[in-house]
Amino acid sequence: MTTRRTTLRTLAGLGALGALGAFATTPAAANTPNSTPPATGSGTAGDPYVITTVQELQWMENELSAHYLLDNDIDASDTVNWNGGEGFIPIGDSSTSFTGSFDGQGNTISGLTINRPTEDSVGLFGFALEASIRNVTLTGLTVTGRDGVGGLVGANQKGTVSDCSSSGQVTGDDFVGGLVGGNRGPVSESYASGTVTGNDNVGGLIGIHSELVSESYASGTVTGNDNVGGLAGWSIDGGVLRSYASGPVSGNSSVGGLIGWIAFGGVQRSYASGPVSGNSSVGGLVGENIGGNVGESYWDTEMTGQTTSADGGTGLTTAQMTGAAAATNMTGFAFGPTWVLTDSYPRLLWSLEALALTLAEDTILVDEDTQATVSLSFVDTTTETGTTVSTYVSSDTAVATIADDGVVSGNAQGEATLTASLGGLSDTATITVEEEDVFPDPIVLPDGTEVTPEDTDGDGLYEDLDGDGDVDGQDVSRLTRLENAYRRGKIELTDAQVAALDFNGDGQFTKADIDAYTAMYDL
């Protein structure tokens, strides 16, 4: 129910989010000892500055309205020693915001350190106003600030963030998120992992937001006090669409697996699956909900440890949310266009990078089985299996078939190509099926000699009479002794064994087969 306390919190939150620009940041010096200008570009949309080093990245503070391209991966680990231990200076602040564009072109910035616990608007970009930030990955970062702290952006005001990710440690007090701290712009196809720690309004991806977050996710550990969520701490008149959170969430009040507190916003076609703990207003999907619309969204009642969620959503068991069962039970999800099934929880289709099909054994006998495994690789370097949810085809079902659970069965001698498909990707593997050896046990001649013939070329005839891998004079000697013992009734052979020793094709095993053998192999 709506109380005076929650109403006041809503109004206060709306005021705080609307006044992101009021975060008190100390502007950095225009020129720092650790910055150098880019060698290429003029900063226009048609001729952007090309960033190639961490020093050039820091120089972006000098031209906040310019356009930039990141041309290669950057090792920013030396920033731990910059500026007396305070590290990298965030690009833009509340008084001089970053208003340009930054395209990472799929490159990675690793090891970034920002250590400014008394400053607000802290991140690679401190304060972005109507900016465009896209297609960049941050790994191994350590970012510490006060209010408005995010791995990528401390405060995003009316700007767009797309195809971005961050992993590492993000720490602050209020409005703290793994990717963006305070957000008033659309965020899409982005993710965050690692650990996020704060006091209020703490989220795995975003601390507080009032815009649309779509097709994004967070998998890190989130710890806070009030308004703590696996994806977003506080959603004020914002939307969350086709997104999820899978990491553990802990706090005091208004704690949710996906969102800690919703005020007049909405959640659609999303889910939460990580452990959730708190003292009051705790939910598997949403901790507290004031006027928000939650539909076609789900949480795992077993993994979250929560049987209820605030006003909306459906609680399911782990078995109902994983594997092929997810398609049956999570009916609001668009599997194919947006989501892809795995043997575990559903994942966003855009994050699937590769599929590999492997066989436990690539050679089996007729009437034997082996197991196929489909391995899925995602943009965040995690892997899942997709064995039970893939579509399979065999090029020759007379030779081998493959079932929905990936079990491959050998039907007849030969080779077949197996294809596994999922999420628009596919891979192949070749299975070889052989007839069972007609001599499973050695034949013991009267003198105690053991003869273990082998078919070395797969023609059904056992030309390697002594099993040493060669066809030579020793095999002629073994074949002669074998024929002699069989003709004299000293040993018995099955019909299949006789057929395998019938080198002249007359249906019998006689001396004539010795002559045919020596002629066939020029011995």
The answer to whether the predicted template modeling score (pTM) of the entire model surpasses 0.85 is no
174-178, 370-374, 395-399, 455-459 — which is least confidently predicted?
455-459
Q: What is the dihedral of CA 391, 396, 399, 400, to 10 degrees?
A: 0
Q: What is the dihedral of CA 283, 288, 291, 294, to 10 degrees?
A: -20
350-434 is a CATH 3.30.2320.50 domain = no
Residue 16's pLDDT is what? 47
CA 67 to chain centre: 31
- 512: which 2 tokens? 């004539």
Residue 219 has pLDDT above 80, yes or no: yes
3-state secondary structure of 191: strand
Q: Where are the beta strands (DSSP E) in 306-445?
A: 314-316, 339-340, 347-348, 352-359, 363-365, 369-378, 383-385, 391-394, 400-402, 407-410, 414-422, 425-434, 443-444
Residue 443's pLDDT is what? 66
The mean pLDDT of the chain is 91
pLDDT digits (tens, 9 = 90+) for 442-473: 666 677 777 778 888 878 888 888 777 888 88
pLDDT digits (tens, 9 = 90+) for 225-279: 999 999 999 999 999 999 999 999 999 999 999 999 999 889 999 999 999 999 9
pLDDT digits (tens, 9 = 90+) for 78-117: 999 999 999 999 999 989 999 999 999 999 999 999 999 9
Strands 407-410 and 400-402, sheet pairing: antiparallel
pLDDT digits (tens, 9 = 90+) for 358-387: 999 999 988 899 999 999 999 999 999 999
DSSP 436: P
Distance CA(323)–CA(16), nearest Å, equals 42
- Confidence bin at 32 (pLDDT 50/70/90): low
Give domain limits for the chain.
Answer: 34-198, 350-434, 443-520
Q: How many CB atoms lie within 10 A of CB 95?
A: 13
Task: Give the DSSP H or E segment for 192.
Answer: strand 191-197
Residue 29's pLDDT is what? 42
Distance CA(489)–CA(73), nearest Å, equals 78
Amino acid at 168: G
Residue 422 has pLDDT above 60, yes or no: yes
Say if CB 307 and CB 279 are below 8 A apart: no
- Confidence bin at 437 (pLDDT 50/70/90): low
Query: In 3D, which of 300, 264, 268, 270 has the Cα closest to residue 283?
Result: 300
Residue 220 has pLDDT above 70, yes or no: yes
Across residues 166-195, what is the average pLDDT? 98
- % residues pLDDT > 90 (the chain): 77
Token look-up 């937001």 returns 209
Greatest extent of the chain over all pairs of C-alpha atoms, in Å: 106
Residues 6+ apart with CB under 8 A from 161: 133, 134, 152, 153, 179, 180, 183, 185, 186, 187, 188, 190
